[in-house]
Structure 1
């Protein structure tokens, strides 16, 4: 990138970078000789040795210098310095049409027509000079503060006769504005530019492109596979006549589109006429052909379906003869020892029964309940069983001295003498009785603190600013309400409101809208922006504020900030004038008579002259107009007629001023009108 302050060609001083592109950077420069701002387009260093990039860069300079038009960016100088290729162009103070659409959301039909009129006028001249732009998009259309449009960036433009450039299978231009024939890899023509102009008109009116996708390839496919979406479905206020212009310009087949930019311009001029209110929707001629119904293809049989399935034969297994013999021997042994086993079992059972009856008839001695207070529950049960006592029911209750799961007491009590195998009930501690925490939100901190301390809590205070509650009111607690907890020494944190936080207001004069928004977001303020003109404060900067600097404010307040719109802009008036340009065949006849008298008189030449007079000749028409966007000494439209032709002129004048127009026919002013107003 170039250094700021560097001089190029000892004449152009670099002020700042204003844009970057695929192969060039654009800087704001100042012409030190003519004392004017210029745009300097410099080929990037990494493309200095790229022959294709150099050719494209030089082609842009050549194309632009051939086109002198009020709606095409002028080229002032083309040069090279130390291997650095650069173009010096007219600097347009404003923005490109893409950003203009983003800021506007969508553009009104009247203003869209005004903008497209200027673009079409520029492209008509380019096509007349046999130059195809090939990269028409809003980014390459500049618009200044007075709504004056200029087309730029002819970097990939080609001459219609240029056959040395290979275009097949190459996508040049922006994919969102690419014509179907270019997307298929075909040659670009003037009809390709017409298609892109139709997409630009769609984007102006709707605020978005008609086709979008995740990749460039998917978008390119949509251009020749999908129909153009109807703009009136989302925006029914747009007249059908205007949608028809989009549909005709973006027809899939080039033959269905406008043949020239002049034809599209003429159609656009009358789009809002009342006579076209009930216009039917445009249908391309190529879509009126009969649709053929394709027969479905029957899929072939699968290989598995052609081969029959074989039957499976089950497999059986048999037992060996050796296993049968072994089983027979074991059965004979079991039969021999069966009676002896039954005799010994009967004798053992008789001895056991006699012994049990003797032991059971013995008188047991009483036992003492062991001391199992403050003993773990499992240990207490084991100690009772060791003393031949039975554990009865187990009860649980809270106790402030005995730990949880330990025995509080027994029933009968510890030390009591009880019969052998008596039941003893256990009372097991649940620990200290818990306190159910309540919700203390909205209560006074001092009152709640005293209550919690009496319950045994340790109370911690945490102060915080709050926009809703007054100072001293509880706005949060560390233990949720409904929680059961033993209060003995347990800490609970209470968050207490300090009221609204107060801040000191800064002086916002000189802030931009973005800076103001960042400031109010930081302090939780609501902001209302208003605008007014100012001769002293630059556009976009703060003029005044409703909360004075150095005064106090709190979150949630509303501040009103007044932004400057710069010097008051003039109000514009829009109106149209329809005129009929008369055709004059006598002009050509008179010209033919003069040629006949000056030529050598022979009979054959006279016959040729008479036949030439019978062929109608065209009149060459030049139209000029005077308004906020045009000067009367500049050509607005130039064309030929062979019959009377009606055209509509759209004027945009500053309120209080007048418009004018002038029509020349073959060099002679035939129509002229001044002092025009709405």
Structure 2
């Protein structure tokens, strides 16, 4: 298989003009449709991805048929797709001028509540159409939300990168789900991924809700909800730690909504973008006041309960037990049991880190 196209190359009725950007799974080019002179963005799957995943071509083409269902002003429009003579997989999409949300936040800092809600409600409106057809984005993050200006209208949102959306409807071809799993390994962004994605559990529309909750928090505060020095700490915080909110936000109308959107279990979350949107539409942005350097309320990490097996104590049994006051050895026993509980928690974290190493190893092996 040949490499990526160069400016001037033509295929499928499009002429490549320039490279716009490249990620872990695909490259995006600006191109022109030769028949209509329309400018488009062409996304091309990187050759090493195609070579690494057996039978990826027919699966990719089926996946695009899924994405074609999504028609909404706040979702990038798909025009065409195909495969070149050399085997490259491509899709032509609406070309949007503007900046992604990540760039805007870096340049301007936090948003006022009214602006944050304006952006989020648009994104959720587009996402709701996908969720209605049981399509899950899986990789929502600030860089996948484009902000454009149209005339006097500012901050018009376009949701990008539905190409890795996972079809979960019962009527979907299993191969569509298989290819999205393969792409998900290359594209997932741990800082915005739901706990069930990191734990390789069942993924659904509530997984997107979690990511959107983290993005809303970042717009309101100007900082990511999940901050850590290493990828392993990111994984641990996503799985065990509720987000630490500044007091002004936690006590506002948005506090309970954000807590529900970012709950660690899907059963405790809004089930879809439509439910999350409905909750936000009831909020009066004018009633929310930002407080500089406000106290941050940090919740305690939630360690999982252990299943009882023969010879294995449950979480309750690991907790320090009450000790009779009259027995002198009591303080020492309490301290010993506390250390044992801490050791169990440390062991659990080490297991999580080991799993993270394995996932990273798989990623590097499939991308070399």
What are the superposed Cα offsets for residues 489-515 of structure 1, whole Å, 9 maximum, x if unpaired?
xxxxxxxxxxxxxxxxxxxxxxxxxxx
| 1:7 to 1:19, Cα distance in 2 relative to 1, 3 A | same
CA 1:101–1:239 in 2, change beyond 3 Å: closer, same or farther?
farther
- Residue 82 of structure 2 corresponds to residue 67 of structure 1: no
2:106 alignment partner in structure 1: 102
CA distance in 2, matches of 1:86, 1:58: 9
Please point out which of 66, 78, 82 is paired with 2:81.
Answer: 78
Larger relative helix fraction? 2
Q: Which has more strand, going by share of residues?
A: 1
**Aligned: 1:156 with 2:158:** no
Kept after mapping to 2: 8 A contact 1:97/1:139? yes
2:207 maps to which residue? 192
1:191–1:24 Cα change, 3 Å: same
Given that 1:74 and 1:90 are in contact with CA atoms closer than 8 Å, whether structure 2 keeps it comes out as yes
Q: Deviation per CA, 1:529-581, whole angstroms, max 9, x where unpaired?
A: xxxxxxxxxxxxxxxxxxxxxxxxxxxxxxxxxxxxxxxxxxxxxxxxxxxxx
CA offsets, 1:95-142, max 9 Å, x none? 211112111211111111111111111111111101111111111111
Greater RCO (CA < 8 Å, at least 6 residues apart): 2
1:175 aligns with 2:190: yes
Alignment of 1:25-36 (within 5 A): 25-36=27-38
Q: Is the Cα contact below 8 Å between 2:40 and 2:92 reproduced in 1?
A: yes
Aligned ranges 1:227-246 → 2 under 5 Å: 227-230=242-245, 232-233=246-247, 236=248, 240-246=252-258
**Structure 1 residue 212 displacement after superposition:** 2.2
User: Is the CA contact (8 Å cut-off) linking 2:100 and 2:147 kept in structure 1?
Assistant: yes
Larger radius of gyration: 1
Alignment coverage as a number of residue pairs:
286
Would the aligned equivalents of 1:38 and 1:88 in 2 still touch at CA under 8 Å?
A: yes
User: Gapped runs of 5+ residues in structure 2?
Assistant: 290-296, 304-314, 322-333, 338-368
CA distance in 2, matches of 1:229, 1:122: 28
Q: Quick one: distance in 1 between partners of 2:116 and 2:66?
A: 27
Write the distance in 1 (CA, Å) between the matches of 2:162 and 2:286.
38
Q: Distance in 1 between matches of 2:5 and 2:287?
A: 56
Alignment RMSD, CA only? 3.1
Partners of 2:144 and 2:133 lie apart in 1 by 19
Distance in 2 separating the partners of 1:141 and 1:56: 26
1:409 match: none
* Contact 1:76/1:90 (8 A) holds in 2: yes
The equivalent position to 2:11 in structure 1, one of 8, 11, 15, is: 8
Q: Is contact 2:27–2:45 with CA below 8 Å preserved after alignment? A: yes
Superposition TM-score, scaled by structure 2 size? 0.69
Match of 1:147 in 2: 155
Aligned equivalents of 2:58 and 2:212: distance in 1? 26
What is the CA deviation profile of residues 21-80 of structure 1, one whole-angstrom value per residue up to 9, with x for unaligned ones?
112110011122222210011122333433355466435522321111111111111122
> Which sections of structure 1, spanning at least 5 residues, go unmatched?
300-678
Partner of 1:294: 320
Distance 1:17 1:274 in 2: 42
1:397-448 C-alpha deviation (Å, 9 max, x unpaired): xxxxxxxxxxxxxxxxxxxxxxxxxxxxxxxxxxxxxxxxxxxxxxxxxxxx
- CA deviations 1:215-270 (Å, max 9, x no partner) are 3232011112222111x34xx37861123221110011222211232221121112
Contact 1:63/1:154 (<8 A) preserved: no
Distance (Å, rounded) in 2 between the aligned partners of 1:55 and 1:193: 26
Cα distance in 2, alignment partners of residues 297 and 54 from structure 1: 60
How high is the TM-score relative to the length of structure 1? 0.39
Matches of 1:100 and 1:57 in 2, distance apart? 32
State the distance in 1 between where 2:75 and 2:58 align.
21
Q: Does 1:114 align with 2:98?
A: no
Residues 59 and 156, structure 1, Cα contact 8 Å, conserved in 2: no
Alpha-carbon distance in structure 2 between the residues aligned to 1:59 and 1:96: 28
* Partner of residue 136 from structure 2, selected from 125, 132, 135: 132
Secondary structure in 2 matching 1:106: coil
Q: 1:243 to 1:56 in 2, by over 3 A?
A: farther
Residue of structure 2 in register with 1:252 after alignment: 264
Residues 35, 25 of structure 1: alpha-carbon distance in 2 compared, 3 angstrom cutoff: same
The answer to whether 1:221 aligns with 2:229 is no
